[in-house]
C-alpha cells in the first residue's frame, strides 16, 4: 500500500513539473509581446537588414543533407546574432551547415554557452503574445529559451509577415526562430547535451 502511495505521489510531482515547464515555455516566447506589437512604420528606422535575398522559410536553409549529429561526432551549434545565422560546427570548428535564423529583438537572446536540454515538443501557443511555433527545442532554462519554427497564430497558421523576416531581422522574444524544416531537424536530430554557443 505504501509503495502505491509513493508511486502516485511521484506521478503527481512529475505532472506538476511538466505543467510548470509547459507554462514557462508558453511565457518565454511571448512574455515580451510588445516587441512585435509596434507598427511596422515605427520600426523602420531602428532595424537593419542582414540579408536582402529571398529566404524560403518553409524549406531547409541549404540544398544539401543535414549533418549527422551523432553524439560521438561532437558537432555543435554556433548562433551568430549579428549575422542571424545558426552554424552547425564540427568538432574541428568547421562549418558543416548554415541555417537562417531570427534571434531576439532588442538583444533579448542571451549570449553564452549552453546545451540542448531534454524539453522539446511539436507545438506551443502563447495567448498573451498571440503567437506560437512548431518544433521547439529547449537550450536554456528548461523550456524558456528555445529553437523553434517561424511563428504561428492561434489557428496554427504561419505568420507570413514574420516568417519573411527570417535571417534578415532579429524579431523574436528571445528564442531562436528557424525555417520549418530546420526547426524540425533540430527538434528530431540534435541530441540532448549538444553544445550551443551564442555570440
Residues spanned by the domain of 112: 2-33+53-198
What is the CATH classification number for the domain harbouring 153?
2.40.440.10
pLDDT at 46 (0 to 100): 33
Torsion angle of alpha carbons 127, 84, 197, 30, nearest 10°? -10
Number of domains in the chain: 1
The residues annotated as belonging to the active site are 148, 175
pLDDT of residue 54: 80
Please check whether residue 71 lies inside any domain of the structure.
yes
User: What pLDDT does residue 50 have?
Assistant: 46
Give the span between the Cα atoms of 88 and 96, in whole angstroms. Answer: 5
User: Grid cell 528555445 — which residue?
Assistant: 146
Note the pTM of the prediction, 2 decimals. Answer: 0.76
Please check whether residue 93 lies inside any domain of the structure: yes
Q: Which residue has the cell 541549404?
A: 62
pLDDT in tens, the chain (199 residues): 565 554 555 555 554 444 444 444 444 554 433 333 333 333 333 333 344 468 999 999 999 999 999 988 999 999 999 999 999 999 999 999 999 999 999 999 999 999 999 999 999 999 998 999 999 999 999 999 999 999 999 999 999 999 999 999 999 999 999 999 999 999 999 999 999 999 9
The residues, any chain, with a CB within 8 Å of residue 97's CB and separated by 6 or more, are: 61, 62, 64, 66, 67, 87, 88
| Cβ proximity of 114 and 196 under 8 Å | yes
Whether 41 is covered by a domain: the verdict is no
Instruction: Confirm whether 161 is domain-assigned.
Output: yes
Task: Give me the sign of the Cα torsion angle 69, 104, 140, 33.
Answer: negative
91 inside domain? yes
Amino acid at each position: 500500500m505504501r509503495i502505491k502511495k509513493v508511486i502516485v505521489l511521484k506521478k503527481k510531482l512529475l505532472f506538476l513539473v511538466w505543467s510548470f515547464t509547459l507554462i514557462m515555455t508558453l511565457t518565454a516566447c511571448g512574455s515580451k509581446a510588445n516587441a512585435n506589437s509596434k507598427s511596422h512604420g515605427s520600426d523602420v528606422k531602428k532595424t537593419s537588414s542582414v540579408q536582402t535575398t529571398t529566404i524560403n522559410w518553409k524549406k531547409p536553409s541549404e540544398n544539401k543533407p543535414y549533418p549527422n549529429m551523432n553524439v560521438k561526432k561532437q558537432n555543435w551549434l554556433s548562433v551568430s546574432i549579428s549575422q542571424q545565422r545558426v552554424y552547425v560546427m564540427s568538432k574541428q570548428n568547421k562549418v558543416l551547415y548554415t541555417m537562417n535564423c531570427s534571434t531576439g529583438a532588442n538583444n533579448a537572446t542571451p549570449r553564452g554557452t549552453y546545451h540542448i536540454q531534454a524539453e522539446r515538443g511539436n507545438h506551443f501557443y502563447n495567448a498573451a503574445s498571440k503567437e506560437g511555433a512548431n518544433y521547439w527545442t529547449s537550450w536554456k532554462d528548461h523550456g524558456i529559451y528555445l529553437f523553434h519554427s517561424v511563428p504561428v497564430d492561434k489557428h496554427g497558421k504561419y505568420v507570413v509577415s514574420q516568417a519573411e523576416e527570417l535571417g534578415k531581422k532579429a524579431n523574436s522574444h528571445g528564442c531562436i526562430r528557424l525555417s520549418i524544416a530546420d526547426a524540425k531537424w533540430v527538434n528530431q536530430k540534435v541530441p540532448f547535451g549538444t553544445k550551443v554557443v551564442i555570440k
